[in-house]
Structure 1
Amino acid sequence: MAAHSTTRALYAAYNGNLYQVRRSSDNTTRNIGLSGAGGTANAATQDSFCAGTTCVITVVYDQSGRGNDLWYQGSSVVPGSPQSKPAVATSESLTVGGAKAYSLYINPGNSYWRDGHLTGVPTGAAPEGMYMVTSGTHVNNGCCFDYGNSETTRKADAAGAMDAINFGTQCWFGGCSGTGPWVQADLEWGLFPGGSSSWNPNQRAFTSKFVTATLKNNGTSRFAIKGSNAQSGGLYTLWDGALPPGYSPMKKQGAIILGSGGDCCKPDGGANLSAGTFYEGAMVAGYPSDATENAVQANVVAAGYR
């Protein structure tokens, strides 16, 4: 029900736009598309349009066809606090399958959001799954670098009101082993390394340049967290078991957050405190099988992030 990337098409037949940039010289915008159907970003379009000036990423388009585009908090579409700004479009370049692309390089003050409760994003205790490709080298301990289901109110409403992947070095409940960064679940009122507020000894840090992170939640009894190097190998299961006490059933509201926690960035509030990098991610209704998650990881590895 949502698929986002600044680097490549996430459907073999997709030939639409990936994201939009706005340049500071004249405040005009340009959509950044693909080299071809199912291909990689046409970075040359951005390079030409942004030459000699600064560009920011205003929106990351949803490739699923459901219209779940992620606009930056602080835009006219998603009004935000004066401190909320769009991410600079040229902070990090990379290659995917040998082709140049740019990441969504989020620093404190940047975040993106969409109210998708009427356009397919699960609510209540409905099951869902998600993944993202991020970076283990651009992280901090600010709250909270998330991708996933969040509050439509943009407030910290209740335990279970969020269901999002979190990646960073924040140790919410204390007792963490090492310095991270870790793949955790932001379920609201806490970042969970496993099925409770106690540290999960099966957790591990993911410090590679490119990291795959997954989360799935059946909404009533079970959730699973996994992670891996996005350039090689399979997914490592960090947790697959019961939801934390007080989080069953889930109370999801159906917004999508990227780059911040759920209670962020309203016009009368503060701005995002986290840092992180987003290359691609998707959210699905239903509870993905392990085989599906493994296939996603294999596809990410084959894409050739460098």
Structure 2
Amino acid sequence: MAAAVLVGGALIGTVATSGAAQAATTGPCDIYASGGTPCVAAHSTTRALYGSYNGPLYQVIRSSDNTTRDIGLLSAGGYANAATQDSFCAGTTCLISVIYDQSGRGNNLTRGPAGGYVPTPDNLANATAAPTTVGGHEAYGVYIAPGTGYRDDSTSGIATGDQPEGIYAVVDGTHYNNGCCFDYGNAETTNNDDGNGTMEALYFGNASYWSTGSGTGPWIMADMENGLFSGTNVGSNSDPTINNRYTTAIIKGTANQWAIRGGNAQSGGLSTFFSGARPTGYNPMHKEGAILLGIGGDNSNGGAGTFYEGVMTSGYPSDATENAVQANITAAGYTTSSGGTATGAVHAVGAGKCLDVTGVSTTPGTQVQIWGCNGQANQTWTHTTSNQFTVTIGGTTLCLDAYNNQTTAGTKVETWSCTGGANQQWTLNSNGTITGVQSGLCLDVSGASTADGAAVELWTCNGQNNQQWTLS
């Protein structure tokens, strides 16, 4: 789509667990194949989508030396071996350079090239910006900030013309914006707007330029080029707002018929939000068969979202098949925390940097800041069962502290000797914020700065991305 921003991240506690969920013996693509609509593209950075798959999930490139490393699985049919990424990327920044196609067709996603709307290549996603837990294991999603995008213009097996297909994705329902367009699916091979019906992609967000659903969004809609559609007609339709932390989103289409389905990727089944005829001017379709993620068909790259897994099928899947896939997704065990005490870096989502004790200081009263992530002790925090954040530097353990028990916006956040007071207790919220128990205010990067050394303070919660944090 042509381009016409609330960014969220979830708080992650990653800890070692015993009796972690075992890898599924059947993946979503095995289920689709049994239903007669096999996967022709299967992308995930968190787990295998076939029970027998044992290849790489994605590739990262590190900024320190431009070396790449494939990130594979803990076992065949299992979960991502995120420890490989953690080790390879320690002390530097890594970007996701390739998302491999598990279907065997070679439909791999790489950096989106220049297009008709944005005439320069897209950015690559920060490899650590979307930590998650799946099946009790640490993993990372694909964090799409505006300007980020992936594409494959030379594909195999993807629907063209009016051929039927199905698309699903698991996304972060709290990370979205109204920019165009956080898409996953079928697009033009030319990287230009080639007219009505030349796309059929799943869109997630609250853009309201063409159509909307009910409420304020976000909505699952279809990008069919020159329009995001929530029903047969342009405009407002009954397609509901859906914003589960982990959301299953589905679009499927065949001759003069298409549907929107969705549900909570952690529990429950799917609902059908729309099923009916194509919009006027979109029958027949003229799909071209490229695949994109995070961008529109003409490289409009103003969208935002987080992608964990998704597939494209040959053929129009039945509701029963999709229901079985949903059951597989919920059984996979996506969660923002594996419970208990969590230790790791606290990532400032909006800046792509880490919560840092200034100057590696052990002096109580040192204001905390953000700084490029380096894995050092002054960036390693433990969120305890008593809701404290502690940091240990050179044998000295300090607590994250709201200065002088103050509860007003602009209060300095510092390190201090641990007292157990309410001004040293912090709540990790499912919407990605960290709030002070005493004040109810949000941990905030001052002025929404992205610069090294930007101060961290308390501020009224406002839903902006400088108040979004992840712990991994």
Structure 1 counterpart of 2:209, which letter?
Answer: W
Aligned-partner Cα distance in 2 for 1:303–1:175 = 31
Shift of 1:295: 0.8
Q: Which moved more, 1:8-17 or 1:154-163?
A: 154-163
Task: Pick closer, same or farther for the CA change 1:157–1:81 going to 2, 3 Å.
Answer: closer
Residue 233 of structure 1: SS of its match in structure 2? coil
Aligned-partner Cα distance in 1 for 2:282–2:129 = 38
Task: Pick closer, same or farther for the CA change 1:87–1:175 going to 2, 3 Å.
Answer: closer
Aligned-partner Cα distance in 2 for 1:110–1:175 = 24
- Match status 1:168 vs 2:205: yes
Structure 2 counterpart of 1:84, which letter?
Answer: D
Structure 2 counterpart of 1:164, which letter?
Answer: A
How many matched pairs? 293
Shift of 1:177: 3.5
Aligned-partner Cα distance in 2 for 1:173–1:26 = 44
Aligned to 2:222: 185
Shift of 1:174: 5.5
Aligned-partner Cα distance in 2 for 1:176–1:13 = 39
Unaligned runs of 5+ in 1: 265-270
Deviations 1:16-48 (A, max 9, x none): 000000000001000000001000000000000
- Match status 1:284 vs 2:313: yes
Aligned to 2:83: 44
Structure 2 counterpart of 1:298, which letter?
Answer: A
Asked whether the 8 Å contact 1:74–1:85 carries over to 2, the reply is: no
Aligned to 1:209: 245
- Match status 1:153 vs 2:190: yes
- Match status 1:302 vs 2:331: yes
Counterpart selection for 2:153 from 115, 135, 148: 115
Q: Which has the higher contact order (CA 8 A, sep 6+)?
A: 1
Shift of 1:178: 2.2
What are the residue-to-residue correspondences of 1:11-26 with 2, within 5 Å? Answer: 11-26=50-65
Aligned-partner Cα distance in 1 for 2:330–2:307 = 16
Residue 298 of structure 2: SS of its match in structure 1? coil
TM-score by length of 1: 0.93
Residue 321 of structure 2: SS of its match in structure 1? helix
Aligned to 1:234: 269
Deviations 1:78-110 (A, max 9, x none): xx8546210100002111010000010000111
Counterpart selection for 1:261 from 292, 296, 307: 296
Aligned-partner Cα distance in 1 for 2:150–2:312 = 15
Shift of 1:51: 0.1
Asked whether the 8 Å contact 2:211–2:228 carries over to 1, the reply is: no
Aligned-partner Cα distance in 2 for 1:289–1:175 = 26
Aligned-partner Cα distance in 2 for 1:74–1:163 = 19
Structure 2 counterpart of 1:108, which letter?
Answer: P
Shift of 1:74: 4.7
Shift of 1:175: 6.3
Structure 2 counterpart of 1:171, which letter?
Answer: S
Asked whether the 8 Å contact 1:130–1:281 carries over to 2, the reply is: yes
Aligned-partner Cα distance in 2 for 1:124–1:245 = 17
Unaligned runs of 5+ in 2: 1-39, 336-472
Asked whether the 8 Å contact 2:250–2:262 carries over to 1, the reply is: yes
Task: Pick closer, same or farther for the CA change 1:158–1:58 going to 2, 3 Å.
Answer: same
Q: Radius of gyration: which is bigger?
A: 2
Aligned-partner Cα distance in 2 for 1:248–1:298 = 33
Task: Pick closer, same or farther for the CA change 1:241–1:176 going to 2, 3 Å.
Answer: closer
Asked whether the 8 Å contact 1:128–1:217 carries over to 2, the reply is: yes
Aligned-partner Cα distance in 1 for 2:247–2:203 = 12
Shift of 1:198: 2.7
Counterpart selection for 2:124 from 62, 71, 86: 86
Shift of 1:172: 2.4
Aligned to 1:267: none
Deviations 1:259-300 (A, max 9, x none): 011011xxxxxx611100000000001110011110111110
- Match status 1:196 vs 2:233: yes
Aligned to 2:70: 31
Task: Pick closer, same or farther for the CA change 1:112–1:83 going to 2, 3 Å.
Answer: closer
Q: Which moved more, 1:167-176 or 1:132-141?
A: 167-176
Task: Pick closer, same or farther for the CA change 1:68–1:83 going to 2, 3 Å.
Answer: closer
Q: Over the residues paired in the alignment, what is the CA RMSD in angstroms?
A: 1.4
Residue 167 of structure 2: SS of its match in structure 1? strand
Asked whether the 8 Å contact 2:57–2:102 carries over to 1, the reply is: yes
Aligned-partner Cα distance in 2 for 1:128–1:172 = 26
Asked whether the 8 Å contact 2:101–2:108 carries over to 1, the reply is: yes
